[in-house]
Structure 1
Amino acid sequence: MRKFFLLLAVILVIISCTNTKMPVEESPDHISSNPSGKGSQLEIAMVQGEGHNHPLMAIWVEDDKGNYLQTLYVAESIGKGIFQHGDASRGFWKPGEIQRPAAVPRWAHQRGIKSDKGLYLPTPTNPVPDAYTGPTPAQSFVLHTRLDEPGIKKFRVLFEINQTWDWNEFWTNNKYPDDEEYKTSCQPALVYYTNIDMEDPKEKYVMEVVGRSHHSGASGELFTDLETLTTALHIAEEIVVRIKAQ
Protein backbone atom coordinates (compact mmCIF):
# COMPACT_ATOMS: atom_id res chain seq x y z
CA MET A 1 0.00 0.00 0.00
CA ARG A 2 2.85 2.37 0.86
CA LYS A 3 4.39 1.74 -2.58
CA PHE A 4 1.05 2.54 -4.20
CA PHE A 5 0.78 5.94 -2.51
CA LEU A 6 4.43 6.69 -3.27
CA LEU A 7 3.85 5.89 -6.95
CA LEU A 8 0.69 8.03 -6.97
CA ALA A 9 2.59 10.97 -5.46
CA VAL A 10 5.29 10.69 -8.14
CA ILE A 11 2.65 10.64 -10.90
CA LEU A 12 0.93 13.74 -9.48
CA VAL A 13 4.24 15.60 -9.34
CA ILE A 14 4.98 14.70 -12.97
CA ILE A 15 1.52 15.85 -14.09
CA SER A 16 1.88 19.09 -12.14
CA CYS A 17 5.24 19.85 -13.73
CA THR A 18 3.93 19.01 -17.19
CA ASN A 19 0.97 21.40 -16.86
CA THR A 20 2.99 24.28 -15.46
CA LYS A 21 3.71 26.95 -18.06
CA MET A 22 7.17 28.34 -17.59
CA PRO A 23 7.86 31.83 -18.92
CA VAL A 24 9.93 31.83 -22.08
CA GLU A 25 12.52 34.57 -22.50
CA GLU A 26 12.52 35.71 -26.11
CA SER A 27 15.45 37.53 -27.61
CA PRO A 28 14.40 40.72 -29.40
CA ASP A 29 14.59 41.04 -33.15
CA HIS A 30 17.42 43.24 -34.40
CA ILE A 31 16.61 45.46 -37.37
CA SER A 32 18.45 48.34 -39.00
CA SER A 33 17.68 51.42 -41.05
CA ASN A 34 19.55 54.22 -42.80
CA PRO A 35 22.95 52.48 -42.80
CA SER A 36 24.40 55.22 -45.02
CA GLY A 37 23.51 58.01 -42.61
CA LYS A 38 26.39 60.23 -41.48
CA GLY A 39 24.92 61.48 -38.21
CA SER A 40 24.60 60.16 -34.67
CA GLN A 41 24.08 56.43 -34.23
CA LEU A 42 20.98 55.48 -32.25
CA GLU A 43 19.72 52.25 -30.76
CA ILE A 44 15.97 52.17 -30.08
CA ALA A 45 14.68 49.20 -28.09
CA MET A 46 10.97 48.44 -27.79
CA VAL A 47 9.84 45.82 -25.27
CA GLN A 48 6.44 44.46 -26.21
CA GLY A 49 3.63 44.68 -23.68
CA GLU A 50 0.68 42.41 -23.00
CA GLY A 51 -1.43 44.34 -25.54
CA HIS A 52 1.05 43.81 -28.39
CA ASN A 53 -0.40 42.15 -31.50
CA HIS A 54 1.36 43.16 -34.73
CA PRO A 55 1.04 46.95 -34.40
CA LEU A 56 2.06 49.48 -37.04
CA MET A 57 4.65 52.08 -36.11
CA ALA A 58 6.72 55.03 -37.23
CA ILE A 59 9.87 56.48 -35.66
CA TRP A 60 11.19 59.90 -36.57
CA VAL A 61 13.28 62.88 -35.43
CA GLU A 62 12.34 66.51 -34.85
CA ASP A 63 14.47 69.46 -33.80
CA ASP A 64 14.11 70.84 -30.29
CA LYS A 65 11.35 73.19 -31.51
CA GLY A 66 9.21 70.38 -32.91
CA ASN A 67 10.06 70.74 -36.60
CA TYR A 68 10.25 67.48 -38.54
CA LEU A 69 13.77 66.50 -39.58
CA GLN A 70 13.65 62.93 -40.85
CA THR A 71 12.13 59.48 -40.60
CA LEU A 72 14.19 56.78 -38.92
CA TYR A 73 11.85 53.86 -39.56
CA VAL A 74 8.27 53.27 -40.70
CA ALA A 75 6.38 50.03 -41.23
CA GLU A 76 6.78 48.91 -44.82
CA SER A 77 3.04 48.74 -45.50
CA ILE A 78 2.70 52.42 -44.56
CA GLY A 79 5.96 53.51 -46.17
CA LYS A 80 5.17 51.84 -49.50
CA GLY A 81 1.37 52.15 -49.48
CA ILE A 82 0.99 48.43 -50.15
CA PHE A 83 -0.47 45.98 -47.62
CA GLN A 84 0.06 42.22 -47.92
CA HIS A 85 -3.67 41.71 -47.37
CA GLY A 86 -4.76 44.66 -49.45
CA ASP A 87 -6.70 43.14 -52.35
CA ALA A 88 -9.36 40.42 -52.15
CA SER A 89 -10.96 41.10 -55.53
CA ARG A 90 -10.21 37.58 -56.79
CA GLY A 91 -11.60 35.82 -53.74
CA PHE A 92 -8.29 35.53 -51.91
CA TRP A 93 -5.91 37.98 -50.30
CA LYS A 94 -2.98 39.38 -52.22
CA PRO A 95 -0.85 42.53 -51.86
CA GLY A 96 -2.68 45.69 -52.81
CA GLU A 97 -2.50 49.46 -52.61
CA ILE A 98 -4.10 50.89 -49.47
CA GLN A 99 -3.67 54.13 -47.56
CA ARG A 100 -4.47 54.07 -43.84
CA PRO A 101 -4.57 57.67 -42.57
CA ALA A 102 -5.58 56.59 -39.05
CA ALA A 103 -2.55 54.33 -38.61
CA VAL A 104 0.24 56.81 -37.72
CA PRO A 105 -1.23 60.26 -38.46
CA ARG A 106 1.11 62.32 -36.29
CA TRP A 107 4.13 61.08 -38.24
CA ALA A 108 2.32 61.46 -41.56
CA HIS A 109 1.30 65.07 -40.96
CA GLN A 110 4.63 66.07 -39.43
CA ARG A 111 6.37 64.62 -42.48
CA GLY A 112 4.12 66.92 -44.49
CA ILE A 113 4.14 65.26 -47.91
CA LYS A 114 0.66 65.14 -49.46
CA SER A 115 -0.06 62.50 -52.08
CA ASP A 116 -2.03 62.91 -55.29
CA LYS A 117 -4.91 61.34 -53.36
CA GLY A 118 -4.95 64.30 -50.98
CA LEU A 119 -3.62 62.33 -48.00
CA TYR A 120 -0.43 62.86 -46.03
CA LEU A 121 0.74 59.34 -46.81
CA PRO A 122 3.28 57.60 -49.04
CA THR A 123 2.02 55.79 -52.13
CA PRO A 124 3.49 53.14 -54.44
CA THR A 125 4.45 55.91 -56.86
CA ASN A 126 5.96 58.11 -54.13
CA PRO A 127 7.13 55.77 -51.36
CA VAL A 128 9.44 56.26 -48.42
CA PRO A 129 12.95 55.17 -49.51
CA ASP A 130 13.88 51.57 -48.72
CA ALA A 131 16.55 52.67 -46.23
CA TYR A 132 13.86 53.83 -43.80
CA THR A 133 11.26 51.06 -44.10
CA GLY A 134 11.02 47.40 -43.22
CA PRO A 135 8.63 44.62 -42.22
CA THR A 136 6.81 45.21 -38.96
CA PRO A 137 8.63 43.32 -36.16
CA ALA A 138 6.43 40.59 -34.68
CA GLN A 139 7.81 41.01 -31.15
CA SER A 140 10.21 43.09 -29.06
CA PHE A 141 12.96 44.59 -31.19
CA VAL A 142 16.05 46.77 -31.28
CA LEU A 143 16.39 49.25 -34.14
CA HIS A 144 19.94 50.20 -35.12
CA THR A 145 19.81 53.46 -37.04
CA ARG A 146 21.42 56.84 -37.47
CA LEU A 147 20.64 60.41 -38.40
CA ASP A 148 21.15 61.56 -41.97
CA GLU A 149 23.52 64.41 -41.16
CA PRO A 150 26.17 65.06 -38.49
CA GLY A 151 26.28 68.05 -36.19
CA ILE A 152 22.73 67.94 -34.79
CA LYS A 153 23.18 68.60 -31.07
CA LYS A 154 19.62 68.81 -29.74
CA PHE A 155 16.72 66.81 -31.11
CA ARG A 156 13.68 64.74 -30.22
CA VAL A 157 13.02 61.12 -31.05
CA LEU A 158 9.34 60.24 -31.51
CA PHE A 159 7.71 56.82 -31.73
CA GLU A 160 4.10 56.41 -32.89
CA ILE A 161 2.39 53.05 -32.50
CA ASN A 162 -1.09 51.82 -33.36
CA GLN A 163 -2.86 48.49 -33.32
CA THR A 164 -5.72 47.76 -35.68
CA TRP A 165 -9.21 46.98 -34.38
CA ASP A 166 -8.39 47.27 -30.67
CA TRP A 167 -11.85 48.27 -29.46
CA ASN A 168 -12.72 49.04 -25.86
CA GLU A 169 -15.80 50.30 -24.02
CA PHE A 170 -15.15 53.90 -25.09
CA TRP A 171 -13.64 53.40 -28.54
CA THR A 172 -16.39 51.11 -29.83
CA ASN A 173 -16.94 49.92 -33.39
CA ASN A 174 -19.97 52.23 -33.75
CA LYS A 175 -18.57 55.34 -32.07
CA TYR A 176 -18.20 57.05 -35.45
CA PRO A 177 -20.50 54.95 -37.68
CA ASP A 178 -19.90 57.04 -40.81
CA ASP A 179 -16.12 57.23 -40.45
CA GLU A 180 -14.58 54.28 -42.27
CA GLU A 181 -11.02 55.31 -41.40
CA TYR A 182 -11.79 55.28 -37.68
CA LYS A 183 -12.95 51.68 -38.00
CA THR A 184 -9.47 50.66 -39.19
CA SER A 185 -7.93 51.92 -35.96
CA CYS A 186 -10.37 52.20 -33.01
CA GLN A 187 -8.18 53.22 -30.04
CA PRO A 188 -6.03 55.96 -31.61
CA ALA A 189 -2.29 55.79 -32.15
CA LEU A 190 -0.06 56.68 -29.21
CA VAL A 191 2.97 58.94 -29.51
CA TYR A 192 6.06 58.53 -27.31
CA TYR A 193 8.99 60.93 -27.22
CA THR A 194 12.27 61.84 -25.57
CA ASN A 195 14.60 64.84 -25.81
CA ILE A 196 18.28 64.28 -26.55
CA ASP A 197 21.14 66.72 -25.98
CA MET A 198 24.36 65.42 -27.49
CA GLU A 199 26.36 67.88 -25.37
CA ASP A 200 24.94 66.34 -22.19
CA PRO A 201 24.43 62.67 -23.10
CA LYS A 202 22.76 60.12 -20.82
CA GLU A 203 23.25 56.38 -20.60
CA LYS A 204 19.71 55.86 -21.84
CA TYR A 205 16.53 57.79 -22.58
CA VAL A 206 13.24 56.19 -21.55
CA MET A 207 10.51 57.40 -23.88
CA GLU A 208 7.26 58.69 -22.39
CA VAL A 209 3.75 58.94 -23.81
CA VAL A 210 3.14 62.53 -24.88
CA GLY A 211 -0.36 62.05 -26.30
CA ARG A 212 -2.61 60.30 -28.79
CA SER A 213 -3.23 61.02 -32.44
CA HIS A 214 -6.49 61.87 -34.20
CA HIS A 215 -8.83 58.89 -34.20
CA SER A 216 -9.22 58.80 -37.99
CA GLY A 217 -6.08 60.64 -39.09
CA ALA A 218 -7.97 63.71 -40.27
CA SER A 219 -5.26 65.92 -38.75
CA GLY A 220 -1.84 65.69 -37.18
CA GLU A 221 -3.06 67.16 -33.91
CA LEU A 222 -1.81 65.62 -30.68
CA PHE A 223 -4.37 65.07 -27.91
CA THR A 224 -3.35 64.65 -24.28
CA ASP A 225 -6.52 62.98 -22.96
CA LEU A 226 -5.46 59.38 -22.43
CA GLU A 227 -7.94 58.25 -19.78
CA THR A 228 -10.14 56.43 -22.34
CA LEU A 229 -7.27 54.29 -23.63
CA THR A 230 -6.75 50.81 -22.21
CA THR A 231 -4.95 48.07 -24.15
CA ALA A 232 -3.31 50.68 -26.40
CA LEU A 233 -1.24 51.79 -23.41
CA HIS A 234 0.15 48.25 -23.11
CA ILE A 235 1.23 47.62 -26.70
CA ALA A 236 4.72 48.66 -25.61
CA GLU A 237 5.96 47.95 -22.10
CA GLU A 238 9.03 50.15 -22.52
CA ILE A 239 10.81 52.08 -25.26
CA VAL A 240 14.41 53.14 -24.68
CA VAL A 241 16.82 55.17 -26.82
CA ARG A 242 20.59 54.87 -26.48
CA ILE A 243 23.31 56.87 -28.21
CA LYS A 244 26.00 54.62 -29.63
CA ALA A 245 29.66 55.55 -29.84
CA GLN A 246 30.78 56.67 -33.29
Structure 2
Amino acid sequence: MKPTIVPSIAILALTLLLSGCVMNRVNPEPQTIVLREAAGAALRVEIDPGAQWSSRMQAGPFIFNVLPQFAIWTEDDAGRLVETLYVTGADFRGMRHAEKNEKQAEFFAQILPFWSARVTSSGAPLPSKANPYPDAITSATPTGPTTLVTALTGSVGAAAAVTVYLEINKSGDSNSTFRADNDPAGQPSLIYAGHLGAGATRLELIGHGGRLPDEPAVYTDLSGFDTALELVASIVVTLE
Protein backbone atom coordinates (compact mmCIF):
# COMPACT_ATOMS: atom_id res chain seq x y z
CA MET A 1 0.00 0.00 0.00
CA LYS A 2 1.32 3.45 -0.92
CA PRO A 3 1.72 5.89 1.95
CA THR A 4 -0.80 8.70 2.07
CA ILE A 5 0.76 12.01 1.06
CA VAL A 6 -0.75 14.99 2.84
CA PRO A 7 -0.56 18.11 0.68
CA SER A 8 1.79 20.76 2.04
CA ILE A 9 -1.04 23.28 2.25
CA ALA A 10 -2.93 20.97 4.60
CA ILE A 11 0.17 20.61 6.79
CA LEU A 12 0.51 24.40 6.89
CA ALA A 13 -3.15 24.82 7.84
CA LEU A 14 -2.81 22.21 10.58
CA THR A 15 0.31 23.93 11.91
CA LEU A 16 -1.48 27.28 12.02
CA LEU A 17 -4.47 25.72 13.75
CA LEU A 18 -2.36 24.09 16.44
CA SER A 19 0.16 26.85 17.04
CA GLY A 20 -1.74 30.01 16.09
CA CYS A 21 -0.49 32.77 13.83
CA VAL A 22 0.08 36.25 15.28
CA MET A 23 -1.21 38.72 12.70
CA ASN A 24 0.06 41.96 14.28
CA ARG A 25 3.13 41.77 16.45
CA VAL A 26 3.86 44.39 19.08
CA ASN A 27 7.19 46.02 19.83
CA PRO A 28 7.56 46.73 23.56
CA GLU A 29 10.56 49.03 23.06
CA PRO A 30 10.16 52.76 23.85
CA GLN A 31 9.57 55.01 20.87
CA THR A 32 9.26 58.69 20.06
CA ILE A 33 6.71 59.91 17.52
CA VAL A 34 7.27 63.43 16.20
CA LEU A 35 3.91 64.73 15.05
CA ARG A 36 4.33 68.46 14.67
CA GLU A 37 7.40 70.68 14.79
CA ALA A 38 7.33 73.37 17.45
CA ALA A 39 6.11 76.45 15.59
CA GLY A 40 4.33 77.41 18.80
CA ALA A 41 4.66 76.02 22.32
CA ALA A 42 6.33 72.59 22.21
CA LEU A 43 4.49 69.79 23.99
CA ARG A 44 5.67 66.32 24.95
CA VAL A 45 3.24 63.58 26.00
CA GLU A 46 4.86 60.57 27.68
CA ILE A 47 2.61 57.52 27.89
CA ASP A 48 3.66 54.55 29.98
CA PRO A 49 1.45 51.56 29.10
CA GLY A 50 -0.19 49.52 31.84
CA ALA A 51 -0.48 45.76 32.12
CA GLN A 52 -3.63 45.69 29.92
CA TRP A 53 -2.39 47.96 27.13
CA SER A 54 -2.07 44.98 24.81
CA SER A 55 -4.14 41.80 25.04
CA ARG A 56 -4.62 38.88 22.69
CA MET A 57 -7.73 37.75 20.86
CA GLN A 58 -7.93 34.53 18.85
CA ALA A 59 -10.14 33.95 15.82
CA GLY A 60 -9.63 30.41 14.55
CA PRO A 61 -5.92 29.92 13.95
CA PHE A 62 -5.26 33.66 13.91
CA ILE A 63 -4.13 35.65 16.94
CA PHE A 64 -4.51 39.43 17.13
CA ASN A 65 -2.92 41.82 19.60
CA VAL A 66 -5.70 44.20 20.63
CA LEU A 67 -4.50 47.72 21.41
CA PRO A 68 -6.48 50.68 22.77
CA GLN A 69 -7.73 53.70 20.85
CA PHE A 70 -7.15 57.12 22.38
CA ALA A 71 -7.36 60.83 21.71
CA ILE A 72 -5.54 63.79 23.26
CA TRP A 73 -6.89 67.32 23.08
CA THR A 74 -6.94 70.71 24.80
CA GLU A 75 -9.86 72.76 26.11
CA ASP A 76 -10.15 76.33 27.34
CA ASP A 77 -11.54 77.27 30.75
CA ALA A 78 -15.07 77.32 29.30
CA GLY A 79 -14.83 73.66 28.28
CA ARG A 80 -14.53 74.38 24.57
CA LEU A 81 -12.28 72.35 22.32
CA VAL A 82 -9.13 74.27 21.42
CA GLU A 83 -7.50 71.61 19.28
CA THR A 84 -7.07 67.88 18.84
CA LEU A 85 -3.43 67.04 19.43
CA TYR A 86 -3.56 63.35 18.60
CA VAL A 87 -5.93 60.48 17.85
CA THR A 88 -5.05 56.91 16.95
CA GLY A 89 -5.70 55.43 13.52
CA ALA A 90 -7.51 58.36 11.93
CA ASP A 91 -5.72 58.57 8.57
CA PHE A 92 -7.55 55.55 7.03
CA ARG A 93 -4.51 54.61 4.92
CA GLY A 94 -4.13 50.85 4.66
CA MET A 95 -6.70 50.46 7.43
CA ARG A 96 -6.84 46.88 8.73
CA HIS A 97 -9.25 47.58 11.59
CA ALA A 98 -12.47 46.02 10.24
CA GLU A 99 -14.90 47.78 12.59
CA LYS A 100 -13.26 51.17 12.05
CA ASN A 101 -13.35 50.64 8.28
CA GLU A 102 -17.04 49.82 8.42
CA LYS A 103 -18.30 52.41 10.91
CA GLN A 104 -15.76 55.20 10.25
CA ALA A 105 -16.91 58.35 12.14
CA GLU A 106 -19.47 56.34 14.10
CA PHE A 107 -16.67 54.13 15.43
CA PHE A 108 -14.95 57.12 17.03
CA ALA A 109 -18.26 58.43 18.39
CA GLN A 110 -18.84 55.09 20.13
CA ILE A 111 -15.34 54.29 21.35
CA LEU A 112 -14.25 57.85 22.29
CA PRO A 113 -17.59 59.56 22.98
CA PHE A 114 -16.41 62.52 25.08
CA TRP A 115 -13.73 63.64 22.62
CA SER A 116 -16.09 63.02 19.70
CA ALA A 117 -18.78 65.21 21.26
CA ARG A 118 -16.26 68.02 21.75
CA VAL A 119 -15.16 67.75 18.12
CA THR A 120 -18.68 67.80 16.68
CA SER A 121 -19.70 70.64 19.01
CA SER A 122 -16.85 72.70 17.59
CA GLY A 123 -18.18 72.15 14.07
CA ALA A 124 -15.26 69.96 12.99
CA PRO A 125 -15.77 66.52 11.41
CA LEU A 126 -14.78 63.22 12.97
CA PRO A 127 -12.29 61.02 11.10
CA SER A 128 -13.64 59.03 8.16
CA LYS A 129 -12.52 57.82 4.76
CA ALA A 130 -13.92 61.04 3.31
CA ASN A 131 -12.18 63.11 6.00
CA PRO A 132 -8.93 61.42 7.04
CA TYR A 133 -6.86 63.24 9.64
CA PRO A 134 -3.32 64.38 8.74
CA ASP A 135 -0.12 62.77 10.00
CA ALA A 136 0.42 65.80 12.25
CA ILE A 137 -2.25 64.48 14.62
CA THR A 138 -2.53 60.73 14.01
CA SER A 139 -0.63 57.46 13.78
CA ALA A 140 -1.22 53.79 14.45
CA THR A 141 -1.64 52.98 18.14
CA PRO A 142 1.81 52.84 19.76
CA THR A 143 2.69 49.37 21.02
CA GLY A 144 5.02 50.28 23.88
CA PRO A 145 6.15 53.24 26.03
CA THR A 146 5.77 56.30 23.83
CA THR A 147 6.68 59.96 23.75
CA LEU A 148 4.52 62.05 21.43
CA VAL A 149 6.18 65.30 20.36
CA THR A 150 3.84 68.00 19.11
CA ALA A 151 3.13 71.71 19.46
CA LEU A 152 0.23 73.86 20.55
CA THR A 153 -1.21 76.24 17.98
CA GLY A 154 -0.35 79.90 18.08
CA SER A 155 -3.82 80.70 19.46
CA VAL A 156 -2.95 79.24 22.87
CA GLY A 157 0.12 80.22 24.84
CA ALA A 158 1.72 78.97 28.01
CA ALA A 159 -0.11 81.58 30.10
CA ALA A 160 -3.58 80.57 28.93
CA ALA A 161 -5.93 78.49 31.09
CA VAL A 162 -5.74 75.20 29.23
CA THR A 163 -6.67 71.66 30.24
CA VAL A 164 -5.20 68.64 28.48
CA TYR A 165 -7.44 65.57 28.16
CA LEU A 166 -6.76 62.00 27.14
CA GLU A 167 -9.65 59.60 26.48
CA ILE A 168 -8.79 55.92 26.03
CA ASN A 169 -10.81 52.79 25.29
CA LYS A 170 -10.19 49.23 24.17
CA SER A 171 -12.82 47.21 22.34
CA GLY A 172 -13.97 43.87 23.67
CA ASP A 173 -12.98 44.34 27.32
CA SER A 174 -16.32 43.14 28.71
CA ASN A 175 -16.55 42.01 32.32
CA SER A 176 -19.23 40.98 34.82
CA THR A 177 -20.55 44.56 35.04
CA PHE A 178 -20.19 45.68 31.44
CA ARG A 179 -21.31 42.44 29.81
CA ALA A 180 -21.29 41.78 26.09
CA ASP A 181 -25.09 41.37 26.07
CA ASN A 182 -25.83 44.80 27.56
CA ASP A 183 -22.61 46.72 26.82
CA PRO A 184 -21.35 45.53 23.43
CA ALA A 185 -18.44 47.99 23.56
CA GLY A 186 -17.26 46.55 26.89
CA GLN A 187 -16.00 48.87 29.60
CA PRO A 188 -16.57 52.54 28.69
CA SER A 189 -13.78 54.92 27.82
CA LEU A 190 -11.68 56.39 30.62
CA ILE A 191 -10.82 60.08 30.76
CA TYR A 192 -7.63 61.60 32.17
CA ALA A 193 -7.00 65.33 32.53
CA GLY A 194 -4.62 67.92 33.92
CA HIS A 195 -4.21 71.71 33.84
CA LEU A 196 -1.37 72.66 31.56
CA GLY A 197 1.37 74.74 33.11
CA ALA A 198 5.08 75.30 32.78
CA GLY A 199 6.99 72.06 33.22
CA ALA A 200 5.52 68.60 33.66
CA THR A 201 1.87 67.79 34.42
CA ARG A 202 0.67 64.31 35.29
CA LEU A 203 -2.79 63.59 33.91
CA GLU A 204 -5.11 62.08 36.49
CA LEU A 205 -8.10 59.80 36.00
CA ILE A 206 -11.28 61.89 36.36
CA GLY A 207 -14.01 59.52 35.15
CA HIS A 208 -15.42 57.69 32.16
CA GLY A 209 -17.21 58.71 28.98
CA GLY A 210 -20.47 56.82 29.57
CA ARG A 211 -22.12 53.76 28.12
CA LEU A 212 -23.36 53.70 24.53
CA PRO A 213 -26.87 55.10 25.27
CA ASP A 214 -25.54 57.80 27.63
CA GLU A 215 -25.05 61.44 26.79
CA PRO A 216 -21.27 61.97 26.33
CA ALA A 217 -19.92 63.54 29.52
CA VAL A 218 -17.49 62.82 32.35
CA TYR A 219 -19.09 60.26 34.67
CA THR A 220 -17.19 59.95 37.93
CA ASP A 221 -18.55 56.60 39.17
CA LEU A 222 -15.84 54.06 38.32
CA SER A 223 -17.41 51.07 40.04
CA GLY A 224 -17.41 47.96 37.88
CA PHE A 225 -14.22 48.82 36.01
CA ASP A 226 -11.27 46.43 36.20
CA THR A 227 -8.89 45.80 33.28
CA ALA A 228 -9.61 49.22 31.76
CA LEU A 229 -7.99 50.79 34.83
CA GLU A 230 -4.74 49.07 33.80
CA LEU A 231 -4.54 50.39 30.25
CA VAL A 232 -2.07 53.11 31.25
CA ALA A 233 0.38 53.36 34.14
CA SER A 234 1.06 57.08 33.73
CA ILE A 235 0.56 60.01 31.36
CA VAL A 236 2.87 63.01 31.73
CA VAL A 237 2.52 66.15 29.62
CA THR A 238 5.40 68.63 29.49
CA LEU A 239 5.14 72.15 28.09
CA GLU A 240 8.55 73.25 26.88
Aligned alpha-carbon RMSD (Å): 2.6
Partner of 1:75: 88
Unmatched runs of 5 consecutive residues or more in structure 1 = 1-25, 88-94, 177-182
Report the Cα offset of residue 240 of structure 1: 0.6
* Equivalent position to 1:204, from 197, 200, 213: 200
Name the counterpart of 2:52: 51
1:150 offset after TM fit, Å? 5.3
Q: Is the 8 A contact 2:167 2:189 kept in 1?
A: yes
Q: How far did residue 79 of structure 1 move?
A: 5.2
Change (3 A) 1:238 1:103: same
Partner of 2:179: 172
Partner of 1:129: 134
Distance 2:137 2:130 in 1: 16
SS at the partner of 1:51? coil
Q: Taking structure 2 as the reference length, what is the TM-score of the superposition?
A: 0.73
**CA displacement 1:105-124 (0-9 Å, x = unmatched):** 11111011699xxxx73211
Match of 2:239 among 237, 240, 243: 243
Runs of 4+ in 1 over 3 A off after TM superposition: 78-83
**Cα distance, 1:233 vs structure 2:** 0.7
**SS in structure 1 of the partner of residue 173 of structure 2:** coil
Correspondent of 2:117 among 109, 113, 124: 109
Please give the alpha-carbon distance, in whole angstroms, between the structure 2 residues aligned to 1:150 and 1:114: 15
CA gap 1:81/1:219 in 2 versus in 1, 3 angstroms = farther
Which of 230, 236, 243 is the equivalent residue of 2:226? Answer: 230
Question: Distance between the aligned counterparts of 1:191 and 1:82, measured in 2?
Answer: 28
- Determine which of 58, 61, 64 is the counterpart of 2:77: 64
Task: Give the CA deviation at 1:168.
Answer: 1.2
Identical residues among aligned pairs (%): 29
Aligned residue number for residue 64 of structure 2: none
Are the aligned partners of 1:79 and 1:127 in contact in 2 as well (CA < 8 Å)?
Answer: yes
The question of whether the paired residues in 1 share the 8 Å contact of 2:68 and 2:168 is answered with yes
Are residue 155 (structure 1) and residue 162 (structure 2) matched? Answer: yes
Distance of 2:30 and 2:121 partners within structure 1: 32
Q: Distance in 2 between matches of 1:97 and 1:107?
A: 20
Counterpart code for 2:215: S
Alignment correspondent of 2:4: none
Hey, what's the Cα distance between the residues in 2 that align with 1:111 and 1:242?
A: 24
Q: Tell me how far apart the structure 2 counterparts of residues 45 and 195 of structure 1 sit (CA, whole Å).
A: 16
Alignment match of 2:32 (pick from 30, 36, 45): 30
CA 1:66–1:167 in structure 2 vs 1: closer, same or farther (change >3 Å)? Answer: same
User: Per-residue CA shift, 1:132-154, capped at 9, x if unaligned?
Assistant: 11111012211011112155222
**Partner amino acid, structure 1, of 2:49:** Q
Distance 1:175 1:57 in 2: 23
**1:97 offset after TM fit, Å?**
4.1
What is the rounded CA distance, in whole Å, between the counterparts of 1:41 and 1:217 in structure 2?
38
> What is the DSSP-based 3-state SS (H/G/I as helix, E as strand, rest coil) of the residue aligned with 2:176?
coil
| Cα 1:64/1:82, change in 2 over 3 Å | farther
Contact 2:44/2:148 (CA < 8 Å) preserved in 1? yes
CA contact (8 A) 1:82 1:98 kept: no
Given that 2:209 and 2:218 are in contact with CA atoms closer than 8 Å, whether structure 1 keeps it comes out as yes
Quote how far apart the aligned CAs of 1:204 are: 1.6
Report deviation, 1:218.
Answer: 5.6
Q: Structure 1 residues 225, 83: closer, same or farther in 2, change over 3 A?
A: farther
